[in-house]
Every structure is written in structure tokens, then in C-alpha cells.
Amino acid sequence: MNQYDVAIIGSGPGGYVAAIRCAQLGMKTAIIEKYAVLGGTCLNVGCIPSKALLDSSHHYEDAVKHFEEHGIDIPGEVKVNLKQMIARKQAVVDQTTKGVEFLMSKNKIDVYHGVGSFKDATHINIKKDGKTETIEAKNSIIATGSKPSSLPFIEIDKERVITSTEALKLKEIPKHLIVIGGGVIGLELGQVYKRLGAEVTVVEFMDRIIPGMDGALSKELTKVMKKQKVKFNLSHKVKSVERKGDEIIVKADDKKGKEVTIKGDYCLVSVGRKPYTDGLNAEAAGVKLDDKGRVEVNEHLQTNVSNIYAIGDVVKGAMLAHKAEEEGTMVAELLAGQKPHIDYNLIPGVVYTWPEVAAVGKTEEQLKEEGVAYKSGQFPMRALGRARASMDIDGFVKILADKNTDEVLGVHMIGARCADLITEGVTAMEFRASAEDISRMSHAHPTFAEAVKEAALAATDDRALHV
Ligand code: FAD
């Protein structure tokens, strides 16, 4: 029987990063993945393919709507080749998952393909094609991730009533895509198909989209997406989704309780994701799950069984790839006797619509609720030369700082390239910078990053320069 210092179940960003860090720290490491390809949700049906389609559809939209103004004439009609678009996306995914395979072999990590299921706290059965192999592991890390969740009355047929997984490989552009859930995944994929020519209606239970983010971001994104002709039915409680042939009928109650009927040809159910532990046989190892089906862990990501840890989407906290990666690194370093730490307040959140939305730290709503005295500085993208040069003028950067100490407490932004710009906010907050610290740093001109400096100037003493 093969013996390991650590065995990791699941090869998503949490699992494969944990494996690499364990190997770097000298542990004999195994990783177990039930699918034939490594990389988990993020690489196969999440972050990477969705960004590939967002980029392709963005190019198309630019060609159709903006090239003429830039002085680029395309003779003939610009057309979408959806088959090629999906094929390119798949090529990007394949290249990325192969990269993970390479990293496993480079770091001498043993890869097992099959369903990993605990036999007891130190033995894992790996089942594949009716055969079972058992390995022994001193320590284990559960990194089994999550699956799309639904509403109890919705039947996902994977053809017309679909989850994000199917939305990444449609064979035709919907005429009218109804998106249930105005969170990150629904908005990103909704925008892909809107750009490709579909009518898109978002139905959201709450009174705003991207509910966890700062209210100002949600308001601005709604405004911009409405300009892009996405329809929003906010404060609508979906009560049925029916398929009649190729037609989808969604019925919802609006906030006054009046029934609203929306008809389309595809319905994307994007109401969140649920932790995945099917087949893991956690009980055989004595590992406890919480009331939401997540693996219960303490602040060291250790389960109630001392040699078994859990990370990523299968435990509490934001369901994000980079959060899973940080947790993978943390557990590896804990196992090596180090004292790592994650500040969960500094895990950025990003929506890859265009304009992009990104945030780190506390929202204005949270600061109010916590009774923290704060000040706010905001700067509009349209006031930047760089934004006007590229015609990306929507959005703003908002910096929240402590009223007394000037320490940055939250950075919230919407605009071009904000997914990358937010790292400046994370860096500043990691080093406990003040708004004035940011405002005194030289920012290259002309860049979108200048909006961060200007928002910091606005927060420091209301002394933004270019408004
Ligand atoms: P996963 O990536 O879910 O990996 C778990 C792995 O475990 C899977 O490969 C699964 O097959 C395997 N597994 C499960 N059970 C077993 C078992 N018993 N034996 C063996 N293997 C098993 N996050 C971002 O940060 N940025 C984004 O842009 C982003 N975009 C997204 C877009 C979409 C459409 C979706 C769906 C998600 C997106 N996410 C994004 C979320 C991100 O994908 C997840 O947070 C991330 O994948 C979680 O990583 P993980 O390692 O915890 O689990």
C-alpha cells in the first residue's frame, strides 16, 4: 500500500495549490481527482472558461459597436461563429489543465484518478471503474469543492434549463436568456450572451444585484448593464420554471405580490453553489459537516479529526478560487510546522463583467452597521485621460478610510481593468496604508490606476485634482 505524508482529495485551485506547497515543503504528497482532468471547477467549468467567453464576446461587441468610431472599417458583416468561440474556450481550458498536470509531475506529486472516499482517518479508498485501491495518509486535506445549487421546484434539464456548466458550451445563441439570480456568475454569463445578440432578463430575489458588494457598485453596474439593454426584474421571487417544447416560462411574484410571467428559450439558474461531499464518506473518518453541508473547520482549517483538514468551496467563506488557493497554502505550511495566517477581510471579490467590478475590505453598509467613523473619497473614471482614450468611461473608484486615523478600510471600484487594479487596494490594506499614503504615491500617467490615487486624494482631504 502506498503511504503518504499528505493526501489531498480534489484537484481544484485549493487542492492542487495545497499539493504543490506540501511537495515544496518536503512532504510525500498524493492528489486524488475523480475526473480525468485536473483543475476542478475553476479551470474546467468556472473561472477560466467563463473569462475566455467574456473576452471573445467582448471582441465581438467591440467589432460591431466600436470599431467604426475608432476608424476601423470592416468590409461585410461581422458574424459570431459560436462553434469556434466554444472551441477556443475549450483549447484555453485544455492548455491550462495540462499545465496543472505538468506542475504535479514537476513537483513529484502522485496523481490518482478516481473517487476518493475515507475508509478511516488515515486510509483513503480510490474507486475507479469498479476497482478500489487504498492508500495510507498521515494527513488528509479535503478540497472537494462545490456544485451549482438550484431551487427545489426547478428541474435542471441541462438543455434549456441550465446551470453555468451548460451555459459555457451552448450550441446556439439563445433568443431570450432568462437568468435567475443576479450574482457574479449570472451577470457574467448573461453579459456574454447579451453581447452575442440574445435578449437577457435577470430575475433577482433581492432588491439589488451583486448583493454582497457595496451598494454604490451594485447601483452603477445596474445602470451600465441597463444601458447595455439587459433587463432586470429585482425584488422578484421566482415560483416556477416550466418548459414547453423549446419555450421556457418563468413565473415570479414582484414585491407587491403580483404575478409576473417571463417567456424565453433558455433559463440559466445561477442561484449559488453548494458544498460537495458526495462519495467522500466523511463519516467513516469521523469528520463532521455543518448544517449547510460544509465540512466544519476551526481557524486552522482543521476538522474535528486532528489529521484531516478542509479548504476551499467545501468550507465556510467566500467561494472563490484565490481564497481556496490561500487556504491550500496555509494548510500545507501548518503541516510543516509554520505559522501562516489568512486575513479574510483582504480577499478581493471581482465581477468580470465590463465594466469590471472589484472590491476589498469593508463596504460602506458594513462600516455603518459596525458604527465605525469613516470618510469616503470617490473619483469617476470619465475624468481620466486614459478612460477617454479607450472610450471606457463608466464607473468610479471609492476609497473608505477611518475618519480618525486615515487607515484604508475598504476599496470599491467599477470600471475598465478593475479586476487587476484592485490589487493596489489589497496591497495598501495588507500594509495598513492610509488614504494619504496612496495619494502620495506616483501613479503612471495615463492609466486607469490614477483613479485610485485620485480617490485617495478625495478621501484624504477632499483634494482630488482632476474633478
Ligand atoms: P473545485 O474547484 O470545485 O474542485 C474540487 C475538485 O474536487 C473537483 O475537480 C472535483 O471533481 C473533485 N472531487 C470532488 N469530490 C471528490 C472525491 N470524492 N474524490 C476525488 N475528487 C473529488 N472564482 C474566482 O475566484 N474567480 C472567478 O472568476 C470565478 N469564476 C467562476 C465562474 C463560474 C461559472 C463558476 C461556476 C465558478 C467561478 N469561480 C470563480 C469559483 C471557483 O471556481 C471556485 O471558488 C473554486 O473552483 C473552488 O476551488 P476548490 O479547490 O475549493 O474546488
Q: What are phi and psi of 385, to 5 degrees?
A: -60, -40
Nearest CA among 105, 128, 118, 147 for reference residue 35: 128
Q: Is the pLDDT of residue 121 over 90?
A: yes
Query: How sure is the predictor about 186, in pLDDT bands with cuts at 50, 70 and 90?
Result: very high
Distance 444 CA to ligand 1 centre (A): 36
Q: How long, in residues, is the chain?
A: 467
Residue-wise pLDDT for 429-445, tens only, equals: 999 999 999 999 999 99
Place of cell 496612496: 438
Beta bridge mates, 268? 162, 179
pLDDT for residue 308: 98
Q: pTM for this one?
A: 0.97
Residue from 331, 309, 327 nearest 317 by CA: 327
pLDDT at 195 over 90: yes
Q: Answer whether 186 contacts ligand 1 (Cβ < 6 A).
A: no
Is the predicted pLDDT of residue 354 greater than 90, yes or no?
Answer: yes
Is 188 annotated as contributing to ligand binding?
Answer: yes
CA of 314 to the centre of ligand 1 (A): 9
Longest dimension (CA), the chain: 69
User: Residue 223 has which C-alpha cell?
Assistant: 445602470
- Mean pLDDT (the chain, rounded): 97
Query: Which of 351, 420, 355 is CA-nearest to residue 382?
Result: 355
User: Do 441 and 457 form a contact (C-beta atoms < 8 A)?
Assistant: no
**Residue 77: is its pLDDT beyond 90?**
yes
Q: What is the pLDDT of residues 233-266, one digit of tens each?
A: 999 999 999 999 999 999 999 999 999 999 999 9
In this prediction, residue 461 carries a pLDDT of: 86
Identify the residue whose C-alpha is closest to ligand 1 atom 8: 40
Q: What domains can be seen in the chain, in order of their start residue?
A: 2-145+276-336 (3.50.50.60), 149-272 (3.50.50.60), 349-461 (3.30.390.30)
Q: Write down the ipTM of this complex.
A: 0.99
* 445 flagged as catalytic: yes
To test the pocket of ligand 1, the residue of 8, 17, 21, 42 to mutate (highest count of ligand atoms within 8 Å of its CB) is: 42
Q: For residue range 287-343, what is the model confidence (pLDDT) as tens digits?
A: 999 999 999 999 999 999 999 999 999 999 999 999 999 999 999 999 999 999 999
